């Protein structure tokens, strides 16, 4: 394995976020510095109200910071306006949500096609690519199934396929295993780890679940809006990717 | 685009039914009210529009056909002497009393014509001939008013202003805007029923010679005949329509009811589309988080509105056509010319698209960060 140092996919510097509550300001982030590299799976852990979801939202360009810098793929995004941010999300970021957030009236395949449609892929090509993505997450036979007919794990795999459809360099996941049983949750985490290690994505996962620690390359703790300790997982090749594998078609199932 | 709009719309059948019911209700209400307006308007000027006349010579300042004032018959001959006049005929409209066989009185409008002329004749004759009006006391009534007037068949005799009147024919569909049906008769009979002096007429109808300029003939009659007004058939028709539909306020009331139908439809559709949007708010938030620009989401909502409009329009027009057809045998005609049918499609589309703006406004302000709020 050849190891290549990467420029951080996400670089956060001195980030603050203060929510206004009446006349008073409630600080959620108080000067956060953080880098996440391609090929790395980072867990963001902390108690409720610690600011981890706020940090994830700002890194995902769906919440604006009060001050500080966020660079996505080397581009400063805190100066972008609300009309420019959706384009960054579409091009660079894939989201995986705790509640899956699939469109219940669309089939699994159509849920993935929706992302491809947003990217401007023609319908016929989108169908082919959607099928291929479902194949990659092990749900090739579920193309025509509606979310109501899928298990929790299957729904989350569809959500991951949808996130991958945009070919993002960054995957941000908010408690992706919280609604799943232990076994299914591990499968989903294994899939996320493959995304990082075999496809070179920068994966950030917010979780409370200590059982997921073993899948992490790095664990970042946050409390009261401040980054606490960051540690590399002993089992992971953090901050590195395999040469030549970035963006390649890998069966993730 | 994946069929998100269509699926969202059809997903909740009950809500779709409510939406379509609202649109159909609005479409039918607007068609009925606008159809009544068109029907009333054409009814007010029916005598003029079917008269085959180019110019009407009236006493001064006559605002509509039912309010003509008598003038000397000598003016008929003055009109006939004007170059370009091919034919001129005396014509009477006059309100009077009709006595039914049971003794009850009804108000009617006598229409006196020359049965030998093509001007001002009754149309849509279904029984009898116009020439039969040349016999003494002969009258033609419309089938729509048989019951009102107590008429059952040809040959029956009634009293009009205490004078004998014998039914010689029936027309079909010649409505009067007022509650007083038209009774066609010869000019001479009409003079008797109206108790008018024998040397007077209420109007002179003019047919201009082929090739003659109507406006020029109009000017020449005005120059040669004193104390009269001369209006074209179109002008007289418009004057009569405007009087009945706007001066009396009847048309305004009907138009207001049509506007009310649109408002009701707008509110119902806006409410249901808004409720559908609220049901799918999390999905719109997800779309935004995924990077969908607002215009993509607007497209979803507007597609839902447009689909609702098309379905509501088709169903609404089906019901409207039934109502329009049923109205033909009633006292108030609801007309739906093809222009109105096409126009209704755009009104329905506009109504539904406009109603979607409330939802668009909600989605525009939607914070995509909601997707992380569980």
For an interface test with B, which of A101, A115, A126, A158 has the most B Cβ atoms less than 10 Å from its Cβ? Answer: A101
pLDDT at B101: 87
Residue A162 — very low, low, confident or very high, per pLDDT cuts 50/70/90?
very high
Per-residue pLDDT reduced to its tens digit, A186-238: 888 998 899 899 989 999 999 888 888 999 999 999 999 999 855 555 444 43
* Residue in A with minimal Cα distance to B296: A118
Alpha-carbon torsion, ordered B283, B284, B286, B288, to 10 deg: 170
**Is the CB of B11 less than 8 angstroms away from the CB of A114?**
no
Query: What does the pLDDT read at residue B318?
Result: 95
The answer, for B289 touching chain A at a CB cutoff of 8 Å, is yes
The interface pTM score, or ipTM, of the predicted complex is 0.83
**CA–CA separation, B272 and B9 (whole Å):** 10
In this predicted structure, what is the pLDDT of residue A5? 44
Nearest to B228 by CA among B4, B68, B14, B25: B68
Average pLDDT, chain A: 85
CA A91 to chain centre: 13
Please report the pLDDT score of residue B85 as a whole number.
96
Give the DSSP letter string of B79-140.
Answer: HHTSTTEEEEEEEEEEEEEEE-TTS-EEEEEEEEE-TTSSSS---SEEES-GGGGGSTTEEE
Q: What is the pLDDT of residues A32-41, one digit of tens each?
A: 999 999 999 9
Residue B45 per-residue DSSP state: T
Chain B residue with CA closest to A82: the answer is: B293
Residues B18, B7: Cα–Cα separation, whole Å: 16
Q: Which residues contact B337 (CB under 8 A, 6 or more apart)?
A: B38
Can you tell me the distance from the alpha carbon of B145 to that of B151, in angstroms, rounded to the nearest whole number? 8
pLDDT at A246: 32
Domain ranges of chain B: 3-43+249-372, 61-226
Of A124-133, A242-251, B3-12, B37-46, the range with the lowest mean pLDDT is A242-251
Give me chain B's average pLDDT, please: 91
CB-based contact (8 Å) between B295 and chain A?
no
pLDDT at residue A177, as a whole number:
86
Cβ partners under 8 Å of residue A156, min gap 6: A96, A100, A176, A177, A179, A180, A184, A188
Which pLDDT score is estimated for B323? 92
Cβ A189 vs Cβ A177: under 8 Å: yes
Strands (E), A55-97: 67-72, 75-76, 93-96
A17 backbone φψ class: left, alpha, beta (φ>0; ψ -120 to 50) = beta
pLDDT at B178: 86
- State how far the Cα of A147 lies from the Cα of A168, in Å rounded to an integer: 23
- Mean pLDDT (10-residue bins), chain B, 374 residues: 83 87 88 89 92 96 91 94 95 94 92 95 94 94 94 94 95 90 95 92 96 95 94 96 87 85 80 82 89 90 92 95 85 86 93 87 85 68
């Amino acid at each position: 394995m050849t190891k290549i140092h990467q420029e951080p996919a996400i670089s956060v510097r001195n980030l603050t976020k203060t929510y206004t509550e009446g006349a008073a300001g409630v600080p959620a982030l108080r000067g956060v510095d953080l880098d996440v590299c391609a090929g790395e799976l980072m867990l963001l852990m902390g108690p409720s109200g610690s600011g981890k979801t706020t940090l994830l939202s700002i890194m995902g360009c769906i919440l604006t910071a009060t001050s500080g810098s966020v660079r996505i793929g080397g581009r400063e995004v805190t100066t972008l306006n609300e009309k420019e941010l959706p384009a960054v999300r579409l091009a660079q970021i894939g989201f995986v949500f705790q509640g899956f957030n699939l469109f219940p009236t669309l089939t699994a395949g159509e849920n993935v096609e929706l992302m491809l449609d947003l990217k401007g892929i023609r319908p016929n090509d989108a169908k082919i690519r959607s099928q291929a993505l479902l194949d990659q997450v092990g749900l090739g036979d579920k193309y025509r199934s509606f979310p109501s007919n899928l298990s929790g794990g299957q729904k989350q795999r569809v959500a991951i396929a949808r996130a991958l459809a945009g070919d993002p360099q960054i995957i941000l996941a908010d408690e992706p295993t919280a609604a799943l049983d232990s076994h299914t949750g591990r499968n989903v985490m294994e899939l996320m780890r493959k995304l990082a290690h075999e496809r070179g994505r920068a994966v950030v996962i917010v979780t409370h679940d200590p059982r997921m620690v073993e899948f992490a390359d790095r664990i970042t703790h946050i409390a009261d809006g401040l980054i606490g300790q960051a540690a590399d997982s002993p089992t992971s090749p953090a901050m590195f990717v395999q040469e030549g594998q970035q963006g390649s078609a890998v069966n993730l199932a | 685009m994946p069929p998100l709009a269509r699926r969202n719309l059809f997903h909740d059948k009950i809500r779709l039914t409510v939406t379509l019911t609202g649109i159909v209700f609005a479409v039918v209400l607007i068609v009925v009210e606008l159809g009544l307006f068109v029907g009333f308007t054409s009814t007010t000027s029916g005598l003029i529009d079917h008269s085959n006349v180019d110019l009407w010579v009236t006493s001064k300042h006559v605002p509509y056909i039912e309010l003509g004032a008598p003038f000397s018959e000598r003016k008929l001959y003055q009109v006939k002497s004007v170059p370009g006049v091919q034919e001129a005929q005396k014509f009477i409209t006059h309100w009077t009393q009709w006595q039914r066989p049971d003794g009850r009185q009804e108000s009617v409008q006598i229409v006196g014509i020359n049965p030998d002329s093509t001007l001002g004749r009754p149309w849509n004759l279904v029984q009898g001939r116009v020439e039969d009006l040349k016999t003494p006391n002969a009258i033609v009534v419309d089938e729509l008013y048989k019951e009102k007037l107590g008429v059952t068949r040809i040959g029956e005799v009634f009293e009009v202003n205490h004078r004998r009147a014998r039914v010689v024919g029936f027309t079909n569909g010649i409505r009067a805007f007022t509650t007083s049906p038209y009774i066609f008769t010869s000019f001479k009979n009409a003079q008797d029923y109206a108790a008018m002096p024998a040397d007077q007429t209420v109007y002179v109808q003019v047919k201009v010679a082929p090739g003659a300029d109507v406006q020029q003939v109009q000017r020449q009659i005005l120059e040669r005949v004193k104390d009269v007004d001369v209006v074209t058939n179109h002008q007289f028709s418009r004057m009569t329509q405007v009087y009945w539909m706007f001066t009396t306020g009847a048309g305004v009331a009907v138009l207001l009811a049509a506007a009310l139908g649109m408002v009701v439809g707008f509110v119902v559709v806006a409410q249901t589309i808004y409720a559908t949007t609220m049901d799918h708010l999390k999905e719109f938030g997800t779309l935004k988080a995924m990077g969908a620009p607002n215009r993509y989401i607007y497209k979803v909502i507007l597609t839902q509105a447009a689909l609702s409009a098309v379905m509501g329009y088709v169903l609404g027009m089906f019901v409207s056509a039934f109502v329009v057809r049923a109205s033909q045998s009633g006292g108030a005609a609801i007309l739906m010319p093809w222009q109105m049918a096409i126009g209704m499609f755009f009104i329905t589309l506009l109504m539904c698209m406009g109603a979607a703006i409330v939802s668009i406004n909600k989605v525009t302000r939607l914070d995509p960060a909601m997707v992380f709020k569980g």
